[in-house]
Structure 1
Amino acid sequence: MEYHSIKSPTAVKAVVKLAVKTLLSEGVVVLPTDTVYGLSVCATSQKAIKRIQALKKRTAKKPFLILVSSLSMLKKYVFLSKSQLALVKKYWQSGRCPTTIILRHRGLLPASLNANSDGLALRLPKSQFLIKIIKTIKEPLISTSLNISGEEPIKNLKDVARFWPDKDRQPDLIIDAGLNLGDKPSQLIDLRIPGSVIVLRK
């Protein structure tokens, strides 16, 4: 398990390159998000998905959050009407809290990501660091809380090794942004039903 910091602007380019290399090698990376630190893998890799489920001791019945780098990437993986697109732009381009949106997927990603439902939970990060990584790998990322399922999220990155003491069962890379991200989850909105906005979490 490697540890790298992006507290210095000069370190960002090298760390992005390392994160991309690890993700494309089906590795698990601890990344800062808009809400909390999370575990991430490439969303197209079934092997990586199984690794992250094993690390978290997470049931396959629980869906994952998907991070995309643009509206163009979003359109590739979900069905989107003009009215739904307008709502997505409204929530994602506002300066308010990060918003996760559930839409009907096209079936292009592994079924284990959405627990075999017709919906996929997606978010466009506000973090340019995350967007740079996703654009470079040219595919979406899974993002899930940094913890073992059912336990409180890890807030101090120094505790990661304590939660996963077995070196063969640890995240491959930790990226420290030097930020206190807190523990408040994103707003969650379901747009699957045309003309309907269902707020599941504020």
Structure 2
Amino acid sequence: MSGFNERNIFFDLDRVANILESGGLIAIPTDTIYGLAVLSSMDSAVEKVFQIKGRSESQALPLLLGSVQQINDYADGINDDVIGLVNEFWPGSLTLIVKKTRGVSEIVSGGLPSVALRLPDHPIPRAISERMNSAITGTSVNRSGEPPFNDAKSIYEEFGDEIDLIVEYPTKKREFKPSTILDVTSEPWVLLREASIPRLKLEEFLGIGFIK
């Protein structure tokens, strides 16, 4: 495992930026689970994510933002209700399905007119996104159909040199839950997945009830 220590760093933002700018792929911690990150604006890098996971390109990839303000670069037609929602639950484990802007690549959206966005409650993905002035991909670190890996050592043992860098971050052992997913592309909004943020909490804030 000598290569494991050589390929992992605590956090060097300059090194991360250089790798991403050159089309590299990194594994990063988030507030939910480790994610595979590339620049969302670089199609050749995004293709690597599909290749390493063995995932169909018809499946959209979620994007992680660095700030609330970045939502306007990727989401079209955001209204005051959505802004109120993100101000309440971002940063955090709420993923929003929104109508995408023209700047969102077809390979990222899986050819759909929408894109999944989240502002994570974790300093590393936010710092990377802000530094790069770009959203980054945030899909789980796993082969398609297999359970996700959530520690640097296991990720290295499975993927080795397929990943250019694995960013380590000290965390307490805990059960990780995926993000809650809410589709706000049309009325009424649809709760696609209840997870880290309970349905009831969203309903109380929005003053509505989701169809079960």
- The TM-score bracket by the shorter chain reads 0.7 to 0.9
Superposed CA deviations along residues 9-33 of structure 1, whole A, max 9, x for unmatched, are xxx4xx1111111111110001001
Contact 1:65-1:122 within 8 A present in 2 as well? yes
> How many angstroms does 1:181 deviate by?
5.9
Q: Which runs of 4+ in 1 moved over 4 A?
A: none
Residue ranges of structure 1 left out of the alignment (5+ in a row) = 7-11
> Which of 115, 120, 125 is equivalent to 2:120?
125
Q: Distance in 2 between matches of 1:182 and 1:3?
A: 26
Q: How far is 1:114 from its partner?
A: 1.1
Calculate the TM-score normalised by the size of structure 2. 0.82
Aligned to 2:32: 35
Larger displacement relative to structure 2 (183-192 or 156-165): 156-165
How many residue pairs get aligned? The number is 188
Task: Report percent identity of matched pairs.
Answer: 24
Distance 1:17 1:117 in 2: 33
Contact 1:101 1:122 survives alignment (8 Å):
yes
Identify which of 158, 165, 175 aligns with 1:163: 158
2:38 match: secondary structure: strand
Gaps of at least 5 residues in structure 2 are 195-212
Equivalents in 2 of 1:162, 1:3: separation in Å?
12
CA distance in 1, matches of 2:13, 2:75: 27
The residue type paired with residue 81 of structure 1 is N
CA distance in 2, matches of 1:92, 1:155: 22
Q: Distance in 2 between matches of 1:52 and 1:72?
A: 26
- Is the Cα contact below 8 Å between 2:34 and 2:151 reproduced in 1? no
Structure of greater relative contact order (alpha carbons < 8 Å, 6+ residues apart):
1
Match of 2:192 in 1: 200
Instruction: Give the strand-richer structure, 1 or 2.
Output: 1
- Post-superposition shift, 1:192? 0.8
**C-alpha distance in 2, partners of 1:188/1:150?**
19
Aligned-pair distance for 1:199? 1.1
Offset at 1:70?
1.5
1:184 to 1:157, Cα distance in 2 relative to 1, 3 A: same
Structure 1 counterpart of 2:82, which letter? Q
RMSD over equivalenced CA pairs, Å: 1.8
Tell me, in whole angstroms, the C-alpha distance in 1 between the residues paired with 2:177 and 2:156: 23
